[in-house]
Copies of this chain bind each other. A is one copy, B any other.
């Protein structure tokens, strides 16, 4: 098969569409003929050499895909060749075929075409596992999402609505601001023009927010702790603003707050917080809302997978809104 390979680490230009060996189908796994994958920040870090795949995972980038099952491994029940699906992957999505444990597979939602379904697994699983399973986001809570127009941000806005939380976001432009408000955000703070700490203070009458979903790490650590409400939870899933920052434990203790560093890719398949448990929870709680149209993947654009380099440039420029998909050429 063909796949995107990394002959060396570096800029987008190192992404190379090349012939590689087919994946094998282990016990409990299926092989998917990939229709599309999608670009995640982790792919960019992996391309730069900063984020090696976890042990046992494919060296090919790509943390999610949609497609059609073309092979079924030993002991698999409930899935058959020909089923249209999407899946959460530990890697290997930028390829014509990929193998995956069935506990990480979703049925294609009826109202989405197969390519669009590739925009769902990573954002729904990231948002649900971190905001609901980890941080306990619940009805009546207030939530701040940094990067509200990203793939994760646009899904966090929708899932906050699903659970009955009020969501505020930060954005970097007026266009993104308008989009997030339209999607359901209660307020969108342009971080280039306003202090998010001051704005959150005003929006919450000085109380702060119950939960924060952060992708900036060190750059926002102090501000995020300041913006937390009593018993608030700061969930850090990215470190685009640096990995080491000063934590004021006095401020954290005074509000009984918590700081969580989490992620999805490194989780084991099994276990109560493993990928299988996350996918099962998303199928139970989020998939019905996708089927009903209440939640949808926000797609910025779809490019042929052979143009993965261009797709990475788009995501690195941060001019996109939602997901950038990569469709396998047929």
Contact for A247 among B231, B245, B258, B273, CB less than 8 A: B245
In the complex, how many angstroms separate the beta carbon of A127 from the nearest chain B beta carbon? 16
Q: Is A183 an interface residue, CB under 8 A from the partner?
A: no
Complex Cα distance, B231 from A48, in Å, reads: 27
- With A245-B246, A247-B245, A259-B259 given, is the CB distance from A239 to B221 under 8 Å? no
A262 CB contact (under 8 Å) in B251, B256, B266 = B256
Instruction: Report chain B residues within 8 Å CB of A12.
Output: none
Q: Is A248 an interface residue (CB 8 A)?
A: yes
B254 touches A266 (CB 8 A): yes
Report whether B244 and A249 are in contact in the complex, using a CB–CB cutoff of 8 Å: yes
Are A253's CB and B262's CB within 8 A? yes
Residue of B nearest to A264 (CB): B256
Is A206 located at the chain interface by the 8 A CB criterion?
Answer: no
In this complex, the member of A244, A255, A256 whose beta carbon has the largest number of chain B beta carbons within 10 angstroms is: A256
Q: Are A253 and B236 closer than 8 Å at their CB atoms?
A: yes
**Contact for A256 among B239, B259, B266, CB less than 8 A:** B266
Q: Which of A219-276 contact B (CB under 8 A)?
A: 221, 231, 236-237, 239, 243-263, 266-267, 273
Residue tally, chain A, CB below 8 Å to B: 31
Q: Is A67 an interface residue (CB 8 A)?
A: no
Smallest beta-carbon distance A146→chain B, Å: 14
Nearest B residue to A267 by beta-carbon distance? Answer: B256
Q: Tell me if A62 is interfacial: C-beta within 8 Å of chain B.
A: no
CA A89 to CA B262, docked complex, whole Å: 36
For this chain, the copies found in one complex come to 2
The reply on A153 being an interface residue by CB < 8 A is no
Question: How far is A237 from B256 in the complex, measured between Cα atoms in Å?
Answer: 9
Whether A263 and B253, one on each chain, are in contact in the complex, defined by CB atoms closer than 8 angstroms, is yes
Across-interface contacts of A244 in B (CB, < 8 A): 246-250
Chain B residues with CB under 8 Å of A252's CB are: 236, 259-261
Out of B261, B266, B273, name the residue touching A249 (CB < 8 Å). B261
**Smallest distance from the beta carbon of A226 to chain B beta carbons, Å?**
13
Cβ-based interface call for A217 (8 A): yes
Taking CB atoms and an 8 Å cut-off, the chain A residues in 174-228 that contact chain B are 217-218, 221
CA distance A254 to B221 in the complex (A): 17
Known: A267-B256, A273-B231. A249 touches B262 (CB 8 A): no
User: Are the CB atoms of B239 and A243 closer together than 8 Å?
Assistant: no
Which of A231, A247, A263, A267 has the most CB atoms of chain B within a 10 A radius of its CB?
A: A247
Instruction: Provide the bound-state CA to CA distance between A243 and B252, in Å.
Output: 10
In the complex, given contacts A236-B249, A255-B261, A256-B267, what are 16 additional A-B residue pairs having Cβ atoms less than 8 angstroms apart? Answer: A231-B273, A243-B248, A243-B250, A245-B246, A245-B247, A247-B259, A252-B259, A252-B260, A252-B261, A253-B261, A254-B266, A256-B260, A256-B273, A257-B260, A258-B259, A259-B260
